[in-house]
């Protein structure tokens, strides 16, 4: 795995290995994929402003997140159906997160179950990503199982009344391969995704089973059935961030679902400052995902107020290339790049990274 020295190399290698349907599912964004590209381009428009002669001996990348000690401010986002990338799927990703001391988030529509993940990585800091189903007992059962299995938070996805139009999935008539199932369910809920009567089997699944009518009151309902902290995942607006907190959320995850929901929305790094400003008087964390592929991306998000960032596709690339070892390599790449950035920028700890460490390129174009 040491031959891979950046996430792009892992992505290229994974793209060569993955079957077309799985590769297109993992890589694609909504409609014209403008926001998919902007998620990365927006990071490139930010400039780091290093401090010189700070006298750094070594850097400490560690942070505390919702009471858990984490070795660096990079965690793994929920991504669905990981056994399409590697036979060990989510089990390998969770083990890698445990070995590297970072947060692992399990998707509701995973190919390994809550209980299997708990057994595979008992010492990992694990979060569970939740969709709200029309059948509230299905939703309640998922939450209670996650809590019983030792997961430490519920990452509630709030930007998905239905899944966005992903043209690649429609063209490919995407379904889960027949030898796999959605492991958190039994019966029809585990196999309904294989229906492709209207194109994408995934879209059929979501349209039939996810609840489009959810409101902020449903966060209050989830809070009433669990003691776990709730993270609002999918926030792009200041007012929604405040509503999420008022409904009982303990943290905000600025996310556009990997640009897979609605094309033309802001890149997440563009939306981050507005959300950070809106919640500055509340005792909540703000996280970010979307477009993060280098250690400098992580650094820029920290400078703009994120407590930490999460990566989804990079984990899939590592998983496809080398299973657990590949995911660990991906995390090690981020750790190395982030450590170099900390040292060269003159900020030995996360607390030293202040807003003035980053400026938009427009500031320099005026000179």
With 70 as the cut, is the pLDDT of residue 334 above it?
yes
What pLDDT shows up at residue 365?
A: 78
Give the pLDDT score at 178: 86
What pLDDT score does 163 carry?
A: 87
What is the predicted pLDDT for the residue at 335?
98
Residues belonging to the active site = 257
Superfamily of domain 7-365: Aldolase class I (3.20.20.70)
Q: Residue 16 above 60 pLDDT?
A: yes
Distance in Å from the first CA to the final CA of the chain:
44
**What distance in Å separates the CA atoms of residue 299 and residue 59, rounded to the nearest whole number?**
13
> Is a pLDDT exceeding 80 seen at residue 49?
yes
**pTM for this predicted structure:** 0.95
Q: Are 271 and 40 in contact (CB under 8 A)?
A: no
Q: Where are the domains of the chain?
A: 7-365
- Residue 26 scores a pLDDT above 80: yes
**pLDDT of 87-125, one tens digit each?**
999 999 999 999 999 999 999 999 999 999 999 999 999
The predicted structure's pLDDT at residue 195: 58
pLDDT tens digits, 256-274: 999 999 999 999 999 999 9
For residues 43 and 330, the answer to whether their CB atoms sit within 8 Å is no
> Taking 80 as the threshold, does the pLDDT of residue 197 lie above it?
no
Structure confidence at residue 190 (pLDDT): 56
pLDDT value, residue 237: 98
Residues 334 and 84: their CA atoms lie apart, in Å, by: 24
Compute the residue count for the chain.
Answer: 367
């Amino acid at each position: 795995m040491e031959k891979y020295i950046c996430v792009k190399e892992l992505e290229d290698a994974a793209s060569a290995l993955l079957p077309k349907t799985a590769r297109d599912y993992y890589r694609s964004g909504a409609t014209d994929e403008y926001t998919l590209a902007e998620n990365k381009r927006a990071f490139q428009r930010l400039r780091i402003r290093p401090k010189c002669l700070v006298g750094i001996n070594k850097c400490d990348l560690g942070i505390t997140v919702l009471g858990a000690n984490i070795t660096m401010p990079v965690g793994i986002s929920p991504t669905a159906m990981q056994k399409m990338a590697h036979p060990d799927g989510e089990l390998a990703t969770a083990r890698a997160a445990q070995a590297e001391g970072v947060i692992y988030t399990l998707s509701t529509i995973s190919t390994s179950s809550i209980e299997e993940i708990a057994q595979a990585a008992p010492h990992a800091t694990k979060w569970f990503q939740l969709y709200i189903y029309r059948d509230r007992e299905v939703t309640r059962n998922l939450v209670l199982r996650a809590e019983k299995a030792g997961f430490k938070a519920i990452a509630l996805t709030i930007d998905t009344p239905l899944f966005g139009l992903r043209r690649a999935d429609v063209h490919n008539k995407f379904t889960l391969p027949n030898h796999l199932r959605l492991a958190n369910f039994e019966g029809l809920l585990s196999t309904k995704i294989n229906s492709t009567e209207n194109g994408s089997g995934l879209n059929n699944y979501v349209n039939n089973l996810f609840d489009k009518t959810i409101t902020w009151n449903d966060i209050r309902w989830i809070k009433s059935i669990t003691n776990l902290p709730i993270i609002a995942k999918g926030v792009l607006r200041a007012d929604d961030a405040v509503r999420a907190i008022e409904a009982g959320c303990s943290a905000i995850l600025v996310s556009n679902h990997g640009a897979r929901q609605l094309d033309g929305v802001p890149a997440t790094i563009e939306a981050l400052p507005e959300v950070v400003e809106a919640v500055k008087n509340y005792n909540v964390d703000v996280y970010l995902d979307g477009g993060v592929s280098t250690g400098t991306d992580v650094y820029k998000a920290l400078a703009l107020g994120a407590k930490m960032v999460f990566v989804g596709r990079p984990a899939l690339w590592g998983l496809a290339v080398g299973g657990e070892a590949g995911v660990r390599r991906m995390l090690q790449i981020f750790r190395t790049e982030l450590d170099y950035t900390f040292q060269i920028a003159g900020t030995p700890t996360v607390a030293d990274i202040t807003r003035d460490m980053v400026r938009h390129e427009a500031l320099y174009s005026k000179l």
